[in-house]
Structures are given as structure tokens and as C-alpha cells.
Amino acid sequence: MNDITLEEMIAAISDESLKTWWTSPTPALPADFTMASFLTKTLHACSLAAATKNATLDPGQKILGYPLAANSPIETSPDGKFLFFRRTASVASFVAIDLDDTYATNG
């Protein structure tokens, strides 16, 4: 089964704090770096790395396990001070019943 490598995912990360966390022997993120930010940016990098790798794979072998996130329409905060959107990211994988083996969905 095809999948992205850790190196491919790290190369697709644009946030330097997150990239450093993945590559440092003693990882540490800034105190204000939220879990939501960590997961959203990591899954976005997985999507980008899979898209890059998929360009070289034959149909039926493409990595489908890291779909692009779905974004809601842009909204305005209740106080009118900033714009935002909601993002839903996911991972699709084949998982062994005992959870010991997990592979990105291919197709």
C-alpha cells in the first residue's frame, strides 16, 4: 500500500514552529500553539504531500487517506472584529482489528 513518508509530510509543512517540532530531537511548541492548530496544520501537510506523491502514481495506486479539508463559508465573529472559517480535516485508513496496523486508503 502506498503512503507518504514522514519526510514528505515534514517537507510540506509551512509553519516553522510545527516543522521544528517534527524535526527536533527535543520537540517543543510555543505555549500558545493549540492542539487544534497542531492537528490542522499536520493534516494539511499530509494532504499536500499526498497530492505531490499522487502526481507520480498510477490510477488505483493513489493515496486517498489524506483528503483535503472541507472549509465552511467565511463568517464574521459575533463582535465583528475578525473573519474566520471552520475547517474539518480527516484521515481515511485501513485498520487491523487489533489496531496494530494502519494504512492510508489507496485507490
Distance between CA atoms of residues 69 and 104, nearest Å? 16
Across 9-14, average pLDDT: 95
- The 10s digit of each residue's pLDDT in 52-80 is 999 999 999 999 999 999 999 999 999 99
- CA-CA-CA-CA dihedral for 57, 59, 64, 67, to nearest 10: 90
At 43 the pLDDT is 96
Give strand pairing partners of 104: 93
The model carries a pTM of 0.86
List all residues 6 or more positions away from 52 whose beta carbon is below 8 Å from its beta carbon. 8, 12
Name the phi and psi angles at 42, rounded to 5: -65, -45
Across the chain, mean pLDDT equals: 93
